[in-house]
Amino acid sequence: QQQVKQSPQSLIVQKGGISIINCAYENTAFDYFPWYQQFPGKGPALLIAIRPDVSEKKEGRFTISFNKSAKQFSLHIMDSQPGDSATYFCAASRPEGTYKYIFGTGTRLKVLA
């Protein structure tokens, strides 16, 4: 019940295309869902996050879609660029003082020029 399942494991997209990464969770106590972007040899960087009272959040080319009833959320990267090639992690956390994350297993995205 503590897992966050992420798919696909890897993704290849043409430049200008839409990249879609999906995550599913089971614990309905989770109340915060961030996405992180990680380049090789670097620490993950917070990209965008959403709370379950919102169905969609958009920041630039990045959009999170959230389906509370299905317990799923996804990251959409519009107009994907070669510079977006990185590993993306979804996560979930509970409303407690530790704010611990449960991370997905990651998606390696490659955008072809």
Partner 1 sequence: SQTIHQWPATLVQPVGSPLSLECTVEGTSNPNLYWYRQAAGRGLQLLFYSVGIGQISSEVPQNLSASRPQDRQFILSSKKLLLSDSGFYLCAWSRGHEQYFGPGTRLTVT
Instruction: Give the contact letters, 54-93, x = binds to partner 1 (CB under 8 A), - = no.
Output: -----------------------------------x---x
Within 10 angstroms of residue 17's Cβ, the number of other Cβ atoms is 15
Residue 90 is encoded by which pair of tokens? 């979804």
Residues near 8 by beta carbon (within 8 Å), at least 6 away in sequence: 21, 22, 107
One DSSP character per residue, 65-76 reads EEETTTTEEEEE
Question: Rule CB under 8 A: is residue 12 a binding residue for partner 1?
Answer: no
Binding residue for partner 1 (CB under 8 A) from 1, 43, 53, 69?
43
Question: Rule CB under 8 A: is residue 105 a binding residue for partner 1?
Answer: yes
Bridge-partner residues for 67, per DSSP?
A: 72
Distance CA 67, CA 34 (A): 14
Q: For residues 18 and 46, which CB has a smaller minimum distance to partner 1 in the complex? A: 46
Q: For residues 20 and 49, which CB has a smaller minimum distance to partner 1 in the complex? A: 49
State the minimum distance, in angstroms, from the CB of residue 101 to partner 1: 6
Residues of this chain that interact with partner 1 (CB under 8 A) are: 32, 34, 36, 41-46, 49, 89, 93, 97-101, 103-106
